[in-house]
Amino acid sequence: MRAWDATTDVLVVGFGAAGASAAIGAAAAGAEVTVVERAGAPGGASAMAGGEIYLGGGTPVQKACGFEDTAEAMRAFLAAATGPGIDEERLDLYCEGSVEHFTWLADMGVPFKASFCAEPCWEPPGDDGLTYSGGENTWPFNEIAPPAPRAHVPQMSGKKPGRRSGGWKLMEHLSAQCRESGVASMLDGRVVALVSDADGAVAGAVIRRFGEELAVRATKGVVLASGGFGANPDMVALHAPQLCGQMPLGTDGDDGSSIRLGQGAGGFTRRMDAAQTAIPTVPALLYPSIAVNRFGQRFINEDTYAGRVGQAAVFHQGAKVALVMDEAIFESVPEADRWGARPTWAAGSVAELEAEMSLPTGSLQATVSLYNEHAARGCDPVFHKRPEWCRPLRPPFGAIDLSALPYAVFTLGGLVTTVDGEVVGSDGPIPGLFAAGRATSGIPAWGYVSGTSLGDATFFGRRAGRAAARRERRPAART
């Protein structure tokens, strides 16, 4: 680079929850901040999310709803649910700082209603501010740590899931705070390259915007925060081939560009094969039914977090899964709440249903017989489903072929960072380069819990922004 077209202290790539939080954190630390976003408005995948933010340890909303919680219980659950291979230091900081982070979000204007949603759902259909989101009250987690709901949902009315829900409300307030903090934004711009100086420190970036390329100098650092790589078929095929053919959840901007930019600067990646996979049914149908594989056998307790069932289905059953129920279960869910689901097969007996599903002779009959025997007593000694969801299946029977439906997926792997967001390479942290959000390998190591993406993004986005702002301003140099 012979000349710079613009200069800022901290350049943030991506204007979702991670990027906005990084920008706010950097501005609060006294830095001049510019956020570049390839879309025409802030939001990204964060604005499309249900808005669950995983927080615990005794937040005001938890207390108001009558739930006791501790940072130790929160950590014990997350260590089990998001492992194996958790980042111990990251998880410690996240749990210990959870109550303070709730306060920070509230200070940003994000509203949380002190009411609890107890019904099984992907996200609260109303404006309730607290719900279970990770199977905390189900086996085996209820034996590992005292259960407590920790998904905090921004309050809003008129939700339109997938388009305008709690994530949209979160981004409304974070982007407004960016404006109030004096953060400059460069919309419709795509970062195509990072620029390093002669010492290997990242000094800025090249941005393509409206057919022109601009070189923007970042005197303190660049924060990469433009999401994962679920919308990049080549990267998915390379790193997470079991996701091929499934439905990526997010935006077209989740193409792994931040990850590849970080790799180009020498950054390491981790857990690139890890992903969240949402089973394509509603929890209200899933919980009382039984999920069976291609051998007619159950493989998990159906009343746990539906995303955990989805991971088990895709990564351990090849997505060849069916949901077996009876007419009473199906009719118990209002048609408007079924996502258009209808039984793929129906029969008057389990033997007939088994034949319709082309399962091994006797397999489903044995599964249903064993399940019904114990469910009649309100127990499930095989997978420990909670008594309230244990009821014998009675004719007529039906089954929904979940292998014929797309699983909504998003990636969890990304750049390796310190707890302050510094991107790590072969010689340690790369000077001037930071990252946050789904562009990094964060709290979800392999398992996933709804709310840990937005929680991780905002919590560690703040830290990355502050760390970049604290970095000593480097003089202009030939790069």
- Give me the CATH code for the 1-279+410-479 domain, please: 3.50.50.60
**Tokens coding 403:** 């292998």
**Contact criterion met (CB below 8 Å) for 305 and 450:** yes
Which has the closest alpha carbon to 414: 444, 450, 378?
444
444: CB partners within 8 A, 6+ apart: 82, 274, 276, 412, 452, 453, 456
Helix or strand or coil: residue 282?
coil
How many Å apart are CA 253 and CA 350, to the nearest integer? Answer: 46
Instruction: Judge whether 1-279+410-479 and 280-404 match in fold.
Output: no
Backbone angles phi, psi at 417, to 5 degrees: -135, 160
274: CB partners within 8 A, 6+ apart: 240, 411, 412, 413, 444, 445, 446
Structural domain boundaries in the chain: 1-279+410-479, 280-404
DSSP H or E run through 38: none
How many Å apart are CA 392 and CA 329, to the nearest integer? Answer: 11
Backbone angles phi, psi at 12, to 5 degrees: -105, 130
What would you measure as the largest C-alpha separation in the chain, in angstroms?
A: 78
Residue with the two structure tokens 């094969």:
273
How many CB atoms within 10 Å of residue 476?
A: 12
pLDDT of amino acid 479: 47
- What separation in angstroms does the CA of 53 have from each of 141, 432, 442? 19, 29, 15
pLDDT of amino acid 476: 63
Helix or strand or coil: residue 62?
helix
Report the b/e string of 156-195 with b at 16+ CB within 10 A. Answer: beebeeeeebbbbbbbbbbbebbeeeebbbbeebbbebbb
**Contact criterion met (CB below 8 Å) for 189 and 13:** no
DSSP string, 392-461: ---SSEEEEEGGGSPPEEEE--EE-B-TT-EEEETTEEEEEEEE-GGGB--S-SSS--TTHHHHHHHHHH
pLDDT of amino acid 321: 97
**Tokens coding 305:** 């977090």
Residue type, 205: A
The arrangement of strands across the sheet holding 408-411 comes to 247-248, 408-411, 275-278
Over its C-alpha atoms, the chain yields an Rg (Å, rounded) of 23
388: CB partners within 8 A, 6+ apart: none
Domain 280-404 listed as CATH 3.90.700.10: yes
Backbone angles phi, psi at 270, to 5 degrees: -150, 145
How many Å apart are CA 178 and CA 370, to the nearest integer? Answer: 57
Backbone angles phi, psi at 127, to 5 degrees: -105, 20
469: alpha, beta or left, given left = phi > 0 and alpha = psi -120 to 50?
Answer: alpha
Model pTM score: 0.96
**Tokens coding 347:** 């029969």
CA dihedral sign of residues 356, 361, 363, 365: positive
**Contact criterion met (CB below 8 Å) for 255 and 232:** yes
136: CB partners within 8 A, 6+ apart: 77, 81, 142, 145, 147, 148, 149, 150
Listed in order, strand segments (DSSP E) in 55-129 are: 116-117
Per-residue pLDDT of the chain (479 residues; tens, 9 = 90+): 789 999 999 999 999 999 999 999 999 999 999 999 999 999 999 999 999 999 999 999 999 999 999 999 999 999 999 999 999 999 999 999 999 999 999 999 999 999 999 999 889 989 999 999 999 999 999 999 999 999 999 999 888 876 789 999 999 999 999 999 999 999 999 999 999 999 999 999 999 999 999 999 999 999 999 999 999 999 999 999 999 999 999 999 999 999 999 999 999 999 999 999 999 999 999 999 999 999 999 999 999 999 999 999 999 999 999 999 999 999 999 998 888 899 999 999 999 999 999 999 999 999 999 999 999 999 999 999 999 999 999 999 999 999 989 999 999 999 999 999 999 999 999 999 999 999 999 999 999 999 999 999 999 999 999 999 999 876 665 54
* CA 188 distance to own-chain centroid: 25
Which has the closest alpha carbon to 320: 347, 292, 345, 282?
292
